Structure 1
C-alpha cells in the first residue's frame, strides 16, 4: 500500500512542525497536490531542472526540498522563462513540491542539530531563541488491563518529560461507570446495561509540538470504543527552540584544525577562515545557510567561532575586531539534510508498512566552484 501525499507530509511535519518557521517564510506545498498516492519521495536541498530530471528518472512524484522553488509572489507563469519552464515541467509530470525551510532549521533533529552533531558538539542550546514549547496536561481513564500499554505508548510518542526527567506521570485507581447505548460495541459490558469498571486515571505532561502524535498513540493503544480523556493548557513552559546551535567541543582544537574538520564533516573542498588559525577553540556556534547577521548572537553566547555561510566583508571585519572567529564553508552545507531526512522518512514509512520509498537527491546544486 502506498502512502498518500498528506500522510508523508504528516511525517515530515512531525519532524519539522510548520509553526516553527519564521514569519513570512515560504514553506509548505508550493506545487501540485498531496491528494494522491506517492510512489517515491525525493529529498533535495534545491529544486532545479537537474533535480526534477532526477525525480523523473527515479520515479518520484513528490519532492521535499529545503529551499523554496517559489520564493516571491508570482504575477504570472511564463513558460518561456527558466522559472516558468521549471514549473511547467513539474506540473506536466505531476510532481508535487513541498518546502521545509526554517522550520527544519529550528526543529530538534533538524539541520542545525545535524551540523552540530557532525562536529561533535555537546551541551547544545539555540543561537537565537524563537519558540518555547507550550505544555499541556493529558488525563485519560484506562482499564487496569491496558494501563501499562497506554502509558508506554504515550511516553514513546514524546510525552512525560519535565526538564531532565522522563516518563513522569501520576496514576490513581478508581471506578468508572458507563451505559453503552444501542449499536455500541463496548470493550467491557453490554449495550443497554450500566457497567462499572476498575480504571486508572493516568496524567502526564504533553508538549504542544507532539500533541497530535501523543493523542494518536494513546487512542491506538486504548481498548475503548469511546475514550474518555482531557487535555488542559498549562502556564508552565517547555523546551526552547530556535535558529542555530551553540555547543562545546569534547577537546579544544585550533581554528585551523577545526577548519579541516568542517571541510570533512560537510564535504566541502575549501572554506573561508577569519581569525588566528592558531587560536584555541572550545565553544562553537553553527548556523546552516546564511548567518552573517548572527555574529552578535555568537558573541553573546560566548562562542569562539561561528560556522556559517554567506559572510560578507564588513561583517567579517567587525567579527574579527570583536574577537570572534569565522568559518564560512558556504550556504550549500545544508545538503547534510538530504540523506538524514530521507532516512527518517524511509524509516517512518517502513515502520507503518507503506510501500512508498524515500531517497536522497544525488544532484550537486552548489553554484560556486573553486578554481
Structure 2
C-alpha cells in the first residue's frame, strides 16, 4: 500500500512543524499536488535539474527539500530559461516539491541538533530564541472503567510535559450526567433516560505541536460516542525553541583538533577558520546555513567557537575582536539532513505498513569549488 501525499507530509510536520518556521520563510508545498499516492520520496538539500532527473530515475513523485525552489515572487515562468525548464519538467512528471527550512532548523531533533550531535556538543540548547511553544490545558471526562486506557493514550501522544517531567496529570473522581437523545448509541444507559455515571476528570498540559495528535489519541481511546472535553489556552510559556545549538564538549580540545571533528562530522574537505589553532575549545556553538550574524549571541552565551556558513569578511573581523573563533564549513554542510530525514520518514512509513520508498539524494549540490 502506497502512502498518500498528505500522510507523508503529516509525518514530516511531526518532525518539523510548519508553525516553527520564521515569518519570512517559504515552507510547505511549493509545486504540484499532494492529492495522490506517493510512489517514492526523494530527500534533497537543494532542487536542481540533476536532482529532478534523480527523482525521475528513482520513480519518485515527491521531493522534500530544505531550500526553497520559489523564494521570491515569480513574475512569469518561461520554459526556455533554466529555471523555467526545471519547473516544466517537475510539472510534466507530476513531481511535487515540499520545503522544510527554518522549521527543520528550529525543531527539536532537527537540523541543528543533528549538527550538534556530530560535532560532539553535549546537551545543546538554542542560543537564539525564536519561538515559545504555546500550551493548552486539556480536560476530559472518562468513565472509571476506561480511565487508565484514555490517560495512557493522552500521555503517550505527548501531553503532560512540564520542564524535565513527563506524564504529568491530575485526576479527580466524580459523577457525570447525560441524557442520550433519540438515535444515539450510548456506551452506558439508554436513549431517553437520564444517566448518572462514575467518571474521572483528567487534566493535563498539551504543547501546541502535539495538540491534534493528543486529541485524536484521546478520542480513539475514549469509549463514549460523544467525548466531553475542553481545551483552554494558557498564558504559561512552554519550551523555548530557536536557532542554533550551544553546549559543552565532552572534553576540551584545541581549535585545530575541533576543526578535524567539524570536517569529519559534516563531511567537508575544507573549512574557513578565524582564530588561533592552539586556543582551547570547551564550549561550542553551531548554526546551520548562514548564521554569522548571530555570533554576538554565541559570545554572550559563552561559546569559544561558532560553526556556521557564509561568514563575511567584516563579521569575521568583528568576531575575532570579540574573542570568538569561527569555523565556516559552507552552507552546503546542511546536507546532513538528507540521510536523517530519509531515516525518519522511512521508519514512520514502515511502522504504518506503507510501501512508499524514501531515498536520500546522492547529488552533490555544493556550488563552490576549491582550487
Same fold, judged at TM 0.5 (above)? yes
Could you say what secondary structure the match of 2:159 adopts? coil
Give, in whole Å, the separation in 2 of the partners of 1:286 and 1:208: 26
- Who is 1:15 aligned against? 15
Give, in whole Å, the separation in 1 of the partners of 2:348 and 2:29: 20
Give, in whole Å, the separation in 1 of the partners of 2:248 and 2:112: 14
Alignment gaps of 5+ in structure 2: none
Residues 72-128 of structure 1: CA distance to partner in whole angstroms, max 9, x if unpaired? 110000011110000000000000001011111111111011111112212322121
Could you say what secondary structure the match of 2:10 adopts? helix
- Who is 2:289 aligned against? 289
Residues 57-85 of structure 1: CA distance to partner in whole angstroms, max 9, x if unpaired? 11111111000011211000001111000
- Note if 1:84 corresponds to 2:81: no
- TM-score when scaled to structure 2? 0.97
How far apart are residue 201 of structure 1 and its match?
0.6
How far apart are residue 46 of structure 1 and its match?
0.5
Call closer, same or farther: CA 1:188–1:354 in 2, change over 3 Å: farther
- TM-score when scaled to structure 1? 0.97
How far apart are residue 344 of structure 1 and its match?
1.2
- Who is 1:259 aligned against? 259
Give, in whole Å, the separation in 2 of the partners of 1:190 and 1:355: 45
Give, in whole Å, the separation in 1 of the partners of 2:361 and 2:189: 55
- Who is 1:226 aligned against? 226
- Note if 1:130 corresponds to 2:141: no
How far apart are residue 184 of structure 1 and its match?
2.3
- Who is 1:6 aligned against? 6
Alignment of 1:117-266 (within 5 A): 117-266=117-266
Structure 1, 153-162 or 329-338: larger mean CA deviation: 153-162
Call closer, same or farther: CA 1:143–1:103 in 2, change over 3 Å: same
How far apart are residue 30 of structure 1 and its match?
0.7
Structure 1, 31-40 or 115-124: larger mean CA deviation: 115-124
Alignment RMSD, CA only? 1.3
Give, in whole Å, the separation in 1 of the partners of 2:81 and 2:41: 27
- Who is 2:24 aligned against? 24
Alignment gaps of 5+ in structure 1: none
Give, in whole Å, the separation in 2 of the partners of 1:35 and 1:49: 24
Structure 1, 344-353 or 125-134: larger mean CA deviation: 344-353
How far apart are residue 185 of structure 1 and its match?
2.5
- Who is 1:278 aligned against? 278
Give, in whole Å, the separation in 2 of the partners of 1:243 and 1:2: 35
- Who is 1:109 aligned against? 109
Could you say what secondary structure the match of 1:267 adopts? coil
- Who is 1:54 aligned against? 54
Structure 1, 112-121 or 179-188: larger mean CA deviation: 179-188
Call closer, same or farther: CA 1:8–1:195 in 2, change over 3 Å: same
Give, in whole Å, the separation in 1 of the partners of 2:147 and 2:2: 33
Call closer, same or farther: CA 1:312–1:135 in 2, change over 3 Å: same
Call closer, same or farther: CA 1:224–1:357 in 2, change over 3 Å: farther
Residues 280-304 of structure 1: CA distance to partner in whole angstroms, max 9, x if unpaired? 1011110001112111111111100
Residues 171-196 of structure 1: CA distance to partner in whole angstroms, max 9, x if unpaired? 01112222222332322233333323
Give, in whole Å, the separation in 2 of the partners of 1:145 and 1:354: 34
Matched residue pairs, number? Answer: 371
- Who is 1:299 aligned against? 299
- Who is 1:325 aligned against? 325
Give, in whole Å, the separation in 1 of the partners of 2:14 and 2:232: 21
- Who is 1:348 aligned against? 348
Call closer, same or farther: CA 1:233–1:249 in 2, change over 3 Å: same
